[in-house]
Structure 1
Amino acid sequence: MTAQSASLQTPPVQPATARDIVLEVKDLSLGFRNADGLLPIVTDVSFSIAKGEAVALVGESGCGKSITASAIMGIAPDNAEIGGTIILNGTPISGLPPKERRKLCGRHMGFIFQEPMTALHPTLSIGRQMTDTLRHNLGLSHAAATDRAAELLDRVGIPRARDILKGYVHELSGGMRQRVMIALAISCGPSLIIADEPTTALDVTIQAQVLDLLDDMRRELNLAMLFITHDLEVVGDFCDRAVVMYAGDVVERGLSADVVRSPAHPYARGLIDAVPGHDDNRTRLTPILGTVPPVGQWPQGCRFAPRCSRADAKCQTRPALEAHIRSDVRCWYPLEAAQ
Structure 2
Amino acid sequence: MLSFIVLTIIHSDPQVITPFGFVNITFLLIMLVNKIINNITKSEDPFIIQEVKQYGSLKMITFKNIKVNSMIDYLLSDDVFATKIIPGSHIRLHESSIYSWEFWLKPSHPFTLVNNKQLIIKDNEFSRFTSFCMSKMKELSLVGIHYPNQEVHNLIKSLSSSGKKNIITLVAGGSGISFILSILTFILKLNLNDKVYVYWSVKDVNEAMLLNDYLNEFDLENTQLDLMVRINVSQFEETPENEHTRIDLEAAISKIRSKSKTDIRVEYQKRLQMISVVDNYKNLPTTQDDTDISCWNVCCGPKTMIAECRESIHAHNESISMVSPDTLVEFISEEYMF
TM-score, with structure 1 as normaliser:
0.29
Higher helix share: 2
Structure with the higher fraction of residues in strand conformation = 2
Max Rg structure: 2
| TM-score, with structure 2 as normaliser | 0.29
